[in-house]
Structure 1
Amino acid sequence: MNRNEARELVDAYVSRVSAQAGGELILLDEHTIERGFGWVFFYASKRHVETGDPAFAVGGNAPLIVDRVTGELHVTGTAYPVEHYIAEYEARSRTP
């Protein structure tokens, strides 16, 4: 899987979440992290990105990991910094 394919997968997920949330969510491409296992994508409400107003911020918008080998999308969490979830995923992906 390449980055464009991974982005399409994440975009479809974010579109579904947008429909449930009742507000438009957008991918933050400039924040995407690439690692050996794949990519970490971020998203936020379009209104928050456009205005910077915290009233439009979305809660629970956990970073999304896409595995380049399996094509699986994994929702991380929001309790820890993103590096925690990346390290956790890397450790799991190395475990046979």
Structure 2
Amino acid sequence: MTTRVAGESIEVRGAPGGDSLGDGGAPRAFLWRGRLHRVSRVVDRWQEDCRGEVWRVCASSGRGADEVFDLRADREDGGAAVAWSLVAARG
């Protein structure tokens, strides 16, 4: 398995009809390098520091098998995510 560290800004999309990120704040899809990746499942979630949270997800852009991605949400104090970044991609 190859790990690429990206550290790139991404746009995260939520589930239709839910809050901005869907149930429990889980990302449902994200746009990275012009490709929409749909999240098939959340593998893990952890608090990285007082303002950052990381979601490990399985996702695919429709061009092959799922890959594992670490998505970081930087938040204001107790608020919604203000910025998302792709920390790592494994596949």
Same fold at TM > 0.5: no
Q: Which has the larger Rg?
A: 1
TM-score w.r.t. length of structure 2: 0.39
Higher fraction of strand: 2
